Structure formats: structure tokens, C-alpha cells
Amino acid sequence: MLNLYKQLLKNNYNVHILIPKKSGLEKKCIENKLNYYRYNKFEIRLKTFKTSFEPGLSHAIKKICSEQNINLIHCNVRREIRAARQSSDTIKIVYTHHTPTNVPLDIISKTNGIIGINPTMIEYFEKEFESLPNTNIPLKLITPFFNQEKFENFTSHQSAATFFANNFGIKIKQAPIVSCVANLHLDKNQQLLLKACASLIHEKQIPLQLVLAGDGMQRKKLEKLASELAIIDYVHFLGFTDKTPEILHFSDLFVLPSSKEGFGIVLMEAAIMKKPIIIANGTGGSHEFIQHDKTGLLFEPDNIHDLAQKIEETILNPNKAQILGNNVYQHWQHKFTNQACLEKLMNLYLGVLH
């Protein structure tokens, strides 16, 4: 949401952002010196009707719309749609659906435009629209906005060994670096990646090292698994870090093994750095962004052998890895830059308003 706000401001649009008080978003707005409105987040859950509402949010929306003469609200979570519609029956509402979850029909019917961040979400809403009589809600595929300049403008004058030693206190081996940047949650499926790497290290004697950037509830289990697989010396748990550009820069290969994914922004970040990418087939935006053997490699979901084979193929064929990296960069540059996404968004806004 914040990256979209910054992109709209950058292009001189009259836009305002409303965020919860004392939230992570408020902290980021302060850090980036951005103007914002805030509200007291107080959610009331109604168990009988399996729904909830936020009176503070609805009141804040109504007040801001009146003061600023706003005619369109862009929501990013479902409860915001209900609050926005409670504030006005006539204001236009655009909703971006970020997660692979279902949306009740009564919520869908309150919108005037819907954005899905991957093709699977678009297919879901097209099917749901069949249950809504005479619906003409515009539906658009627009991938998430992100801080692309941070990656486009990245340069480094230090070695991989120096970077990892100075920032994480670890000693990198003289072996290809496979990286994964993601929260350590069950859906991210790092356990599959550990098993695939273990089979390559022990069965194929292929030297490699795995860098896991991110933190979460699965960390201790993953550390235990790495130890049980006898690859703990080849796996580096970096924890949460803002050094993603550096990590990708020093990586030979990026793998996102997620079993569920909306659209991994890190895929675009890796693309800008021209890294070969491997992801699970049919997960989130995989078939939109990664075209097998052209802009990356797809492995069969939850298939350890297939993932290991794709990693091996990339590591042992540096020329192919370079071609895949260049291809995915060109693919991103052609269809997925912030500017390209902004043009799609403006077309949707104009269609909704007129």
C-alpha cells in the first residue's frame, strides 16, 4: 500500500492515505516523511453474523472524504470495503485482493472495481461474478508496487565474503549461493528447499550453500531439520534483514519454494538483479511471471527430486543461468515496472469514475 501511495505522489496525483495509529505503516510514513491520516483501530467482531466492523475507520473515511472532496477509495483489505461503503453509498471503491483467500459475495458487490495480483485471483473473481446478477464490476490484473529504485540503483564494491562476514558474522564457502528471501512460515515451504539441497550435497556431491533471509515461527524447526539432514554447515539463517539487494546481488540462484503465494514481490526484485529464478508451478503468479525455461524454471509442487534437479541444472549450467537471468529482467522491464502497473491502475480508476 505504501509503495502505491509513493508512486501516486511521485506522479503528482492528489492522493491521501489513511492508516491505523501506532502501526508499522505509521512508522514507515514517519521514516519516509510522508503526510498521512490516521485512525484508532478498534474492531468489533459479531460472531452471530461472522463479520466485523471498525467504527473508527468508517468515521475517519467519511470525515476525510468530506474535507478533501474525494470521489474514489482504494481498499487493500476486506474490512476496509465495508467501512468505506458505510461512509458513503455513492463513492467509488476499488479493491486489491492480495492473498489467496475467498471473498464473500456481499463484499464483492460493494466494490466498483477489483484488482487481482495474479491470474489465479482473476480466475476466482470471474467465477464469483457468475453468482452476481447483472454485474459489470471491472476486473484487472495488476502486480504489486514495490521499491524498484532500491534494486535498479544498487551497486556494491565489496566481496561476498566481506559482506556476509561484516553484516551477519558468517563465513561464506567457495561454492554457489542459493538464496531464499521469505518469512519462515509453513506455507513458504523452506523445508522442501532444505531437503532438496541435502540431496544435492550428499547424493550428488554438488557443492552449494543456502542462504535463508527472513524470520518466523518455523525457524527453530528449520534449524533442527538442517541439523538432522547434516547440512547445517551449508545453511545460513540470516533472520530479518533489509539487505535484500545485497543478498540477491551475491546469489547465484534464487528459489521461492512456497506452496501458497499471492505474488512474491521478491521475484521482481530478483529479476531486476538478473538472477535465475526457480519457483513452484501453479503457485500464485508463477505462470504470469515465470515462463518455464524462458524466464526461469518451474518445479512440481512439493516434489523434492524435481526441485533438486532444477537447482542442479542451474548450478551446472552457468551460461543457461545467465540467459534465464537476462530474460526475466527483460520480461519484468516490459510488463511489470511500477510505471507499467500505474498505467493499468489509472485506466481502471478512469473506467470506474466514468
Strand (E) positions, the chain? Answer: 18-20, 37-39, 44-46, 51-53, 72-75, 92-97, 113-116, 139-141, 177-181, 209-213, 235-239, 253-256, 277-280, 297-299
Measured distance CA(172)–CA(211) in Å, rounded: 10
- pTM comes to 0.88
Q: Compute the C-alpha angle 37/38/39, nearest 5°.
A: 135
**What confidence score (pLDDT) does residue 337 get?**
95
Domains of the chain: 2-147+338-353 (3.40.50.2000), 150-335 (3.40.50.2000)
**What confidence score (pLDDT) does residue 261 get?**
78
- What single DSSP character describes residue 176? P
User: Would you write out the chain's pLDDT as a tens digit for each of its 354 residues?
Assistant: 899 999 999 999 999 999 999 999 999 999 999 999 999 876 555 554 445 557 789 889 999 999 999 999 999 988 899 999 988 899 999 999 988 788 889 899 999 999 999 888 898 999 999 888 778 899 999 999 999 999 998 999 999 999 999 999 999 999 999 999 999 999 999 999 999 999 999 999 999 999 999 999 999 999 999 999 999 999 999 999 999 999 999 999 999 999 887 788 999 999 999 999 999 998 766 667 899 999 999 999 999 999 999 999 999 999 999 999 999 999 999 999 999 999 999 999 999 998
How buried is 69 (Cβ within 10 angstroms: 0-12 exposed, 13-18 middle, 19+ buried)? exposed
Nearest to 8 by CA among 333, 342, 335: 342
**What confidence score (pLDDT) does residue 118 get?**
87
Q: Which residue has the cell 503465494?
A: 261
> Computed from CA positions of residues 165, 242, 142, 258, in that sequence, does the dihedral angle turn out positive or negative?
positive
**What confidence score (pLDDT) does residue 101 get?**
82
Q: Which residue has the cell 503528482?
A: 12
Q: What are phi and psi of 149, to 5 degrees?
A: -60, -30
Which helix (H) or strand (E) covers residue 91, if one does? none
CB atoms under 10 Å from CB of 248, counted, come to 24
Nearest to 98 by CA among 264, 217, 330: 264
Residue 352 contacts residue 94 (beta carbons within 8 Å): yes
Measured distance CA(339)–CA(7) in Å, rounded: 8
Q: Which residue has the cell 481502471?
A: 348
**What confidence score (pLDDT) does residue 285 get?**
63
Measured distance CA(59)–CA(209) in Å, rounded: 53
